[in-house]
Structures are given as structure tokens and as C-alpha cells.
Amino acid sequence: MEKRPSAKTPVWSIEDSASLYGIREWGHEYFNVSARGEVVVNLKDGSKTKPVSLAQIISGLKDRGTQLPVLIRFGDLLRWRIDELNEGFATAIREAKYQGVYRGVYPIKVNQQQEVIEEITRYGRKYHYGLEAGSKPELIAALAYMHDPQAYIVCNGYKDEEFIDLALYAQKMGIQVILVLEMPSELKLILERSKKMGVRPTLGVRFRLSTESAGHWAGSGGDASVFGLNISQVMRVVDHLREEGMLDCLRMLHYHQGSQIPNIRAIRSAATEAARVYVGLVQEGARMGILDLGGGLAISYDGLKGNSTASSDYGTKEYCADVIEAIAEVTDEAEIPHPDIITESGRAIVAYCSVLVINVLDINRFEGNGIIKVTDDSPALLKNLHDLWVEVTESGKKITRERIQETYNDALYYRDKLRSEFSYGKVRLRERAQGEELYWKLLSWVSEHMEQAGADGGQMSRVEHVLTDYYYANFSVFQSLPDLWAIDQIFPVMPIQRLKEKPTRKVVLSDITCDSDGKIDHFAHGCELHQSLPLHDIDIEGGEDYMLGVFLVGAYQETLGDLHNLLGDTNVVSVSLDNGKLRYRREQEGDTVSEVLSYVEYDPKVLVTKFRELAESAVTQKRITATERKEIMAAFEEGLRGYTYFET
Ligand SMILES: Cc1ncc(COP(=O)(O)O)c(C=O)c1O
């Protein structure tokens, strides 16, 4: 006979974990939970796609001596995304009988790593996928890697003479480089340089849309945006080019609505507005031919289909279909040819391909564990708390919503009064500690029974917040997840193992910087936003290795990260499958202590010399022996060579 689960062992399956952490929503077809209860990533093995456990990848890395935290890059996911966007446009163009072509460009700033640029230009060539450069260094990287004469290099950002000259030289050599006017004054310099070099430049103009969007980066578009030309400035550019006999050089209208635009309506309105301006420019006599929609294609970090910065109420296919339809509608009405389309999607291309894996080092549980005994001499408030505890645990009374609320109110009242008596010297330190312990016990009881008695929500949701454990994990928010700290970005976080078990703790994740902002305390799970994350209890003393994945970190995070507390770059590795075997490539060791110190102008040799002086003076003062000095110096030098994160 099948054994029925007891009331104490709640039924929990990998399906529950998948829906709790929303992995099928934010992870699309790239990430999933395996029957073994582990997070898997789907990788290509020849023509097949196979799930590979992240825990297995980490185990292989550990065997090779690579420590956590580690950033894993999956080239397969990058290629998958390039296909999805380009095929999305190809389908939309085919279905709408659109006459123009799609020529996407990848904005280098979103992830500038050489590996990413190399792969995008190599794999993207079949789609004539180009690059967007927003600065001189980005243009130099683009020119080194992008040699496809049918793809574009779009130059945004402020341009000096050197930037312009480089772009014009590339054009002379047969690369399609478009110089986008970001401000009116750039035109004069571009015309001067092109005349001097005998090149007719390919020009674009960045237009400031009046359509405003939702989301954190809405300010990058709209009338008040700092970038681009307003409508009268665009007209002055047209007049100037006409006077110079160069109106045929104006080939492209560009706009950028902002990054991560969560709703499709805003995307469609912007495309319609831009198409109208495009039509106007053609009617003015400009040659045109290209409409560049900038970035903004959002991904859902929270797995929800909402209208928040972390969400997206549309997918790639819908995005492609809607912008093609909107542009066709306006240009058909004006009876002018459909323009070729460029988009500068960054986040949607690279976010998925990097996963940060971190390990939990320690736990601070907020619960009362000890047995508290009160005596006749104990303060009355401590006795009250104790009586309350005895009453909830031993009275056998029915647990109702009212009883839970009353217990919570009384526990809070007695605890606060006890604290106040302590501050007047009426309660001793040990008595206050006993009172706090009872308070935690009572709150744990409240939390345990709240849901079943229907007392959750409202002011009681504070209980959950108060009862949150701190799990200390081996990473730095500032180095690896800067947007989480700077703009409250949500990233999907979940355990990569034990997913057959119900997580029983509610957790805030603290990093190992000693900064109170160094924590993750906003999460999306169970279709809602929360201030804590359900995780499993961990046997820290027994040395359990509990790992968490932080997903969708491939966009913007790597180069925006900083050296707070001198925690440096993490280890990085690229992982793929080859004939069923894992391949680890491009392993890059994270910064050593000596490297991060040299970034802030310390000379490691001088540090050793100075520390040796201290050690030698300790020998002279007979605080340590000469042999101890040798050991101490070896430890110091080993420390300089070590990883900046917690080493095991
Ligand atoms: C001009 C320009 N193009 C493209 C992008 C990339 O945007 P996203 O990552 O949302 O696709 C940005 C980023 O804000 C941008 O400023």
C-alpha cells in the first residue's frame, strides 16, 4: 500500500519549485528544473538540444580548481537569441509582405566582452547583423570585428574629429557606417571632415520622440530626453544639407525610446510617430531608406506579464510583427517605399547568456531556539511573554484569525515595553535577551499558523518581513549586480539544487561586502514581488554546499560593476556541449587581491616591503620569532595572490 504523506511532510514536487521560482516564465525554453530537482540549462549538442545541470557544471569546475562565485557564459543562448530576433523579423516581414529588410545591430555597450562581440559578428553574419558603437573605443572594437559589407555599424554618441575620421575611413573601405547626429553642432564637423577626405557620409539623425513610455528608462525618450534633436532642429539639419547639396547623404531616422519598455502599446505608438517623421523627411527630399528603432525590446525578469520595469507584456514575435505593421501602415498611406529596419536590441540579446553562481556561507536565523525559564523574581513583562507562550502552545484552544492577531499584538506590546524598561535600567541584559527570544518564538508561531487561519496579508504581512533569515552568500552586489543596487532591478534568483524539497525558510540574501546595501531583498516569485526568497534550511555546520543561481545577468552588469570593498571580478567560464561532454573554454581567473589593490594605486611590492618592516620590528621586539616571521610573510604573500572572494 502506498504510504500517505504525514501532515509534517508536505507534498512537494519539482513542478511546485518551477512555479514558485517562475523559471519557465523568465527562463523561456532555456532554463528548467530536472526530475532530479536541479536547475538545467538547455544546450545544443550537434543538432539536438540537451538539458545540462548547473550543479554538474559547477562540480566539473570545482574539480578543475575553480572557486565560486563564478560567472558562466552560454554561447548557445546568445546564438539562440540572435536567431529569435532575426527570424522574428523575417517572419513579420514575410507575413506583412513588407518590402524592406531587417538589419539589426547589437549595441556594444550592453556587454562589451570580446567573446560576445566576436560571437555576434561571426554567428550574426548570416543575418548581416551589425554593431552599434556609442564611443571611440566601441567603434574601434566594431571595426576590428565587423567586416560584413552588407551589415551596418551605427555610430551614436558624441563624436570628435578622430571618431568621425575613423567612421569615414571605414566607409571608404566598403563598410556601411552610419554617423548619427545626436546634436545639431555635430553636422558642421562631419561635413568639414568628409569634404576633406572626399567621402560622402552616410548620415542618420536621432529624433526626440514625443511619445513617452513606461519603465525606468522612459526618460531616454520623450520631449524632455537629453538625447537627440527636436523636430525644428531636424528641419534645420535638412535645410543645411540641402544648401550644401548633400540631402542625399541623409539616409536614416533614428530614435531610442529607452531600455526595457514593458508595454507593446508604447512601442507601437513610438514606431507610428517615427514612421510619420520618416515620411516627412522623404517628402522633404532626403534620400532616406532606413528607420532605426533603437533598443527597448524588453525581457521579463520577474516572469510576469506586467507593466513594470522588470516585466514585459509582449514577446519578441509580437514586437517584430507590431513594429513592421505600424511602419507599413504609415508608409503605405503616404505611398512611399517601406524603409529597411534597424533595431538596436541589447538586453534581449545578451541578458540570458550569463548566469552568476554563488554559494551560501552562513545563516543568521531569526527565531527563538532556547528554552526560557522564568522565576518569581523575573520582571512582570517577561512573565507576561512567557505566559503568552505557554498559552499558545499548551492551551489547545482553537487557532482563529482573531487569536493570531491578538497574540501578535500582545507579543509586540510586551517586547516593546520590556525594551523601554531596559533603557530605564529596570530590566537586566539577560532578562531583555530572554524576552526577545520569547518574542521570536511567538512570532514564529504566528507565522506558522497565519496562512491556515486566513490571517495573512494586511498589517500581518509585517510578520513575514520581521521573521526573515539572512543568508550570507559569496558575492558582491556592487561588482556583479550593480543595477540591483543602483536602480532596484529585479533578477531571478533560485537554488540550483534540492528542488524536490519544499523550501521552508524566508530569506534575504546578504553579500560579503560590509555595506548595508549589499543585499538582495526584492524578489519575484509565485507571480508576485516579495521582500524575501523561499530557500531551504541548510546544514552549514555539516558543510552543506548550497548554491544559488542569479539569472539574466548578461546585460549591462559586467562592466558597470565596481570594486566596492575591493571585491574584484569573479571567475568567468564559457560552457558548451560537445558530443555529450561538457566543454569549459575561455576560463578567466577573477581578480587577485594584488590586482585589485593595484587598481587603486598600491604597488604590491611596496606592500610586501612595508609589511616585512612591521614583521621585522616585531622580531626585534621579541613579539614573534624569526621562524614565525617567515610563516607570517608567506601568509601575507599568499593573501596577495588569492581570490578576493571567500575561498574554501
Ligand atoms: C541608443 C541606444 N540604443 C540601444 C540601447 C539598448 O537598449 P536595450 O538594451 O533596451 O535593447 C540603448 C540603451 O539604453 C541605447 O541608449
Give the span between the Cα atoms of 84 and 349, in whole angstroms.
9
- The rounded Å distance from CA 102 to ligand 1 centre is 17
User: Residue 5 pLDDT > 60, yes or no?
Assistant: no
Q: Which residue has the cell 512611399?
A: 336
**Average pLDDT of span 168-175:** 96
Q: In sequence order, what DSSP letters do the residues of 408-432 get, joined into one string?
A: HHHHHHHHHHHHHHHHTT-S-HHHH
Task: Give the range among 66-70, 239-243, 364-368, 471-475 with minimum mean pLDDT.
Answer: 364-368
Q: Which residue has the cell 577626405?
A: 197
Q: Measuring from each residue's beta carbon to the nearest atom of ligand 1, which residues come in under 6 Å?
A: 107, 110, 132, 156, 220, 256, 259-260, 294-297, 344-348
Q: Which residue has the cell 519598455?
A: 261
Model confidence pLDDT, tens digit, residues 105-135:
999 999 999 999 999 999 999 999 999 999 9
Nearest atom (ligand 1) to Cα of 260? 10
Identify which has the larger pLDDT, 461 or 380.
380
Q: Are 85 and 590 in contact (CB under 8 A)?
A: no
Nearest to 619 by CA among 605, 608, 633, 606: 633
Give the span between the Cα atoms of 167 and 202, in whole angstroms.
10
Give the span between the Cα atoms of 529 and 524, in whole angstroms.
4
Give the span between the Cα atoms of 463 and 415, in whole angstroms.
14
Residue 558's alpha-carbon distances to 350, 351, 481, 572, in angstroms, are 11, 11, 8, 11
Provide the percentage of residues in the chain whose pLDDT is more than 90. Answer: 83
Question: What is the predicted pLDDT for the residue at 540?
Answer: 93
Count of helix runs (H) and strand runs (E) in the chain: 22, 23
Question: What is the predicted pLDDT for the residue at 366?
Answer: 76
Length of the chain: 648
Q: pLDDT-derived band of residue 525, with 50, 70 and 90 as boundaries?
A: confident
Start-to-end CA span in the chain (Å): 46
- The rounded Å distance from CA 186 to ligand 1 centre is 21
Task: For residue 267, give every residue at least 6 positions away whose Cβ sits within 8 Å of its Cβ, in sequence order, or none.
Answer: 213, 257, 261, 296, 314, 319, 322, 323
Question: What is the predicted pLDDT for the residue at 305?
Answer: 79
Model confidence pLDDT, tens digit, residues 581-621:
999 999 999 999 999 999 999 999 999 999 999 999 999 99
Model confidence pLDDT, tens digit, residues 281-304:
999 999 999 999 999 999 999 988
Task: Give the range among 64-73, 340-349, 397-406, 510-519 with minimum mean pLDDT.
Answer: 397-406
**Average pLDDT of span 436-456:** 84
Question: What is the predicted pLDDT for the residue at 3?
Answer: 44
Which of 110, 182, 314, 316 is the best mutation target for the ligand 1 pocket, counting ligand atoms within 8 Å of the beta carbon and taking the most?
110
Nearest atom (ligand 1) to Cα of 348? 11
Q: Whose CA is nearest to atom 5 of ligand 1?
A: 295
Q: pLDDT-derived band of residue 347, with 50, 70 and 90 as boundaries?
A: very high
Residue 156's alpha-carbon distances to 111, 115, 179, 320, 553, in angstroms, are 16, 22, 7, 23, 24
Nearest atom (ligand 1) to Cα of 206? 1
Question: What is the predicted pLDDT for the residue at 399?
Answer: 87
- The rounded Å distance from CA 258 to ligand 1 centre is 7
Give the domains, in start order, of the chain with CATH numbers: 1-74+353-363+469-590 (2.40.37.10), 96-345 (3.20.20.10), 380-465 (1.20.58), 602-641 (no CATH)
User: Residue 544 pLDDT > 50, yes or no?
Assistant: yes
Q: Are 22 and 492 in contact (CB under 8 A)?
A: yes
Identify which has the larger pLDDT, 357 or 394.
357
Torsion over CA: 94, 97, 98, 100 (sign): positive
Name the β-bridge partners of 358.
Answer: 548
